[in-house]
Amino acid sequence: MTFSQALLERAQPMMDAIMANPFVKAIAAGQVPDEVLNYYVEQDEHYLKDYLQVTALTITKTDNVDDINNLLATAQFVQNESRAHQVMLEITGHPIENWRREPETKRYTDHMYASAYHGTYADAIAALLPCAWSYAVLGEQLVDQGANNADNPLKEWIELYAPQTNPDTPDYNVWRFEALDRAVASLNPTQLEHVAQTFLFSLEMEWRFWEAAWQQEHWQFEF
């Protein structure tokens, strides 16, 4: 069993929790409150900008040309996610107004920056990986459930992430896990566990990101 295969086994309960999150269930039903969509889009705009910055930092940690090209392709895909946000904002008719990172957004992006600045190449990849992987799993499972039916106003959003509705798009998650396995090949057990914890922390933050939007979590005080 590869490192990434073992890691995904450990990650499965977290992924199950993401699929069971009330926000994700509301997406499947096509009945997400406007204020939840607005919060999510505003915070995801922050997150994706930081994701691009961390991707750029990650590129500086490798001289593998294939990895560099795939990281650049990943960054391009993230830039195209603005369409996913437009789908949600077209439902609410609400412009993006909150340019402040809420607590869980800041916690998540701080973790990614720290992993890229102070960690190994493997740490940097591990911090980034759960975002793309969890959305692909989410999209795939929602399509399998038939959530992308014609009556769901979030049909296009779901299909943007589902692998089976994007057959011509390369599966970058395959490369990401292969790159992770290569990056950890020479690490000792302590270092391997650190990489695993980095991945699992980011996946925990994916769940918290959904939950924060559903619960409308904000800073307690203005500062």
Tally of CA atoms within 13 A in the half-sphere of 167 that contains its CB: 1
All domains in the chain, ordered by first residue: 3-215 (1.20.910.10)
Looking at residue 76, what is its pLDDT? 81
- What average pLDDT values come out for the chain (223 residues) when binned by 10 residues? 98 99 98 95 93 96 94 82 80 76 97 98 97 96 97 95 83 90 96 98 99 97 84
Which residues contact residue 52 at a Cβ distance below 8 angstroms, ignoring those fewer than 6 apart? 75, 78, 79
Question: What pTM did the predictor assign?
Answer: 0.94
Q: CA triplet 158, 54, 131: central angle to 5 degrees? A: 25
Give the Cα separation of 184 and 3 in Å (integer).
8
pLDDT of residue 165: 86
The pLDDT assigned to 23 comes to 99
Q: What is the pLDDT of residue 124?
A: 98
What's residue 98's pLDDT? 63
Q: What confidence score (pLDDT) does residue 44 get?
A: 93
What is the reported pLDDT for 199? 99
